Amino acid sequence: MSATSRYWRKALLDLWFAGKTIKAILVTPAYVFSAAHQFRSDLGANTIGSAVAVSGLTTGVPNPATVDIADLTFAAVPNGQAAGIWYYQDTGDPATDLLIYFEDQITGFPVITNGADVTVTIDPGVNRLFTLGGAA
């Protein structure tokens, strides 16, 4: 067997997120996930609305390698459709905004947008936003 310690993964997460601005942006159904996408500029014209800053970011609850955030509200999302969310490190330049986590299995998505706010509830269960994988 081989595994990384979940406490090391928590320390890695804490170190990486320290002092960084993390944002979330909605993507349209036209977006096709690719593991080759590295920066926000790779999303092209497949986003809708404005990005929102993530708040309440914590690690270690309920599992040391778990990342949790507060629920999100995307304000006044224009007419269209949102099918997923990309979370990224905001550097101020889409060409260097590092993509972190993509999710398209969201309750209520895809959602038709019409200028109203779109609220996303983060899983309150054991997975929260995401868990950095591995055993132990």
Residue 27 lies in a domain: yes
Residue 136 lies in a domain: no
Residue 35 lies in a domain: yes
Domain containing residue 76: 6-131
pLDDT band at 136 (very low <50, low <70, confident <90, very high): very low
Residue 87 lies in a domain: yes
- If phi over 0 gives left and psi between -120 and 50 gives alpha, with beta otherwise, what is residue 36? alpha
Instruction: Say if residue 7's pLDDT is above 60.
Output: yes
Instruction: Say if residue 111's pLDDT is above 50.
Output: yes
pLDDT band at 134 (very low <50, low <70, confident <90, very high): low
pLDDT band at 5 (very low <50, low <70, confident <90, very high): confident
Q: What is the mean pLDDT of residues 101-127?
A: 94
Residue 51 lies in a domain: yes
Residue 1 lies in a domain: no
Number of domains in the chain: 1
Residue 126 or 48, more confident? 48
pTM as predicted: 0.91
CB 30 within 8 A of CB 46: yes
